[in-house]
């Protein structure tokens, strides 16, 4: 069995373990579920390292490699937040998200090809790693938003319930904001390093390439999200409605992330872009 298939299976086991953990809510199930996810992350990281050795360059030169790394970053970022915020209900969907990203990678061409001279730069490593950490955080915020929107109607107007019987932890809606606040600086750094890299490779910091344009749209979408909580109270929108609006905004924003990352390759107008996977 290939390492890819093993990693996919362990991600699935991790998601099942998280569901069991939520049902039984015991200390043992907590560490079992987290343990499986850490194991899946280690397998995923091994895939990244192996590919890098085989290719002879950082494994980000095509969509297959980037998706494998994206899945790795998604599990890594979730594990960090698991320790920081002691998530319970998010782990299953976070594991499934990483698994789906990795599964999508299996549908791509995994042939190793020489990279163009412009990609042979240390800036590629910095640029892609920071971007992927930002995207991974936004993926986790997407998961928390889904959970909030689905579970909220069953909660008692967001009021805390006794430990062990609560549907969502107290202030769960604020977790999405904290996760985006974690990922946004990485997205910003990714844009800055990308501009510096573009200057060195092509002579211009910014050329309004389709990928650059949609990267800016992505950045603006999350910038608006981070500032919206300051605006909504002035519009006489109560806390409950504001949380719903912000959660929906995150769903839309993550859609923009995925279009920027993968969807642009299907646009004829982006066919000549140096930034689109598989365009060359």
Q: What is the pTM of this model?
A: 0.88
The C-alpha atoms of residue 36 and residue 20 are separated, in whole angstroms, by 13
Nearest to 92 by CA among 169, 43, 29: 29
The C-alpha atoms of residue 139 and residue 102 are separated, in whole angstroms, by 14
pLDDT, tens only, 189-214: 999 998 888 777 777 777 777 888 88
Contact 133, 126 (CB under 8 A): no
Q: Which two tokens stand for residue 155?
A: 């909660």
pLDDT value at 84 more than 60: yes
The C-alpha atoms of residue 69 and residue 139 are separated, in whole angstroms, by 14
Residue 178 pLDDT grade (very low, low, confident, very high; cuts 50, 70, 90)? very high
CB neighbour class for 156 (10 Å; exposed up to 12, middle 13-18, buried from 19): exposed
pLDDT, tens only, 217-261: 999 999 999 998 888 777 777 777 888 899 999 999 999 999 988
pLDDT value at 24 more than 50: yes
DSSP 8-state assignment for residue 263? G
Q: Rounded to the nearest 5°, which phi and psi values hold at 20?
A: -60, -40
Which position has the higher pLDDT, 234 or 109?
Answer: 109
Mean pLDDT rounded to a whole number for the chain? 84
What's residue 169's pLDDT?
66
What contacts 275, CB < 8 A, 6 or more positions away? 209, 210, 211, 212
The C-alpha atoms of residue 222 and residue 184 are separated, in whole angstroms, by 7
Residue 277 pLDDT grade (very low, low, confident, very high; cuts 50, 70, 90)? low
Question: Distances from the Cα of 214 to the Cαs of 12, 139, 201, 230, in angstroms?
Answer: 32, 17, 20, 25
């Amino acid at each position: 069995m290939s390492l890819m298939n093993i990693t996919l299976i362990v991600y699935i086991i991790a998601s099942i373990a998280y569901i069991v953990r939520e049902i039984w809510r015991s200390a043992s199930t907590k560490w079992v579920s987290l343990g499986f996810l850490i194991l899946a992350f280690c397998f995923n990281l091994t895939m990244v390292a192996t590919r890098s050795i085989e290719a002879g360059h950082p494994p980000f030169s095509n969509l297959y490699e980037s998706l494998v790394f994206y899945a790795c970053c998604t599990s890594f970022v979730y594990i960090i937040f698991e320790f920081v915020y002691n998530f319970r209900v998010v782990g299953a969907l976070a594991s499934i998200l990483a698994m789906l990203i990795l599964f999508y990678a299996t549908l791509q061409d995994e042939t190793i090809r020489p990279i163009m001279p412009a990609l042979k730069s240390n800036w590629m490593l910095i640029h892609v790693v920071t971007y992927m950490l930002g995207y991974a955080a936004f993926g986790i915020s997407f998961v928390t938003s889904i959970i909030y929107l689905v579970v909220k109607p069953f909660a008692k107007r967001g009021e805390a319930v006794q430990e062990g019987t609560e549907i969502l932890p107290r202030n769960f809606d604020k977790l999405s904001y904290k996760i985006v606040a974690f990922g946004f600086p990485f997205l910003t750094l990714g844009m800055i390093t990308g501009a510096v890299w573009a200057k060195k490779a092509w002579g211009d910091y910014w050329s309004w390439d389709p990928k650059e344009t949609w990267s800016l749209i992505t950045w603006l979408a999350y910038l608006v999200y981070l500032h919206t909580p300051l605006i909504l109270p002035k519009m006489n929108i109560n806390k409950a409605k504001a949380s719903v609006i912000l959660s929906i905004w995150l769903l839309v924003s993550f859609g923009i992330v995925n279009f920027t990352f993968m969807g642009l390759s299907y646009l004829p107008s982006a066919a000549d872009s140096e930034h689109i996977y598989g365009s060359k």
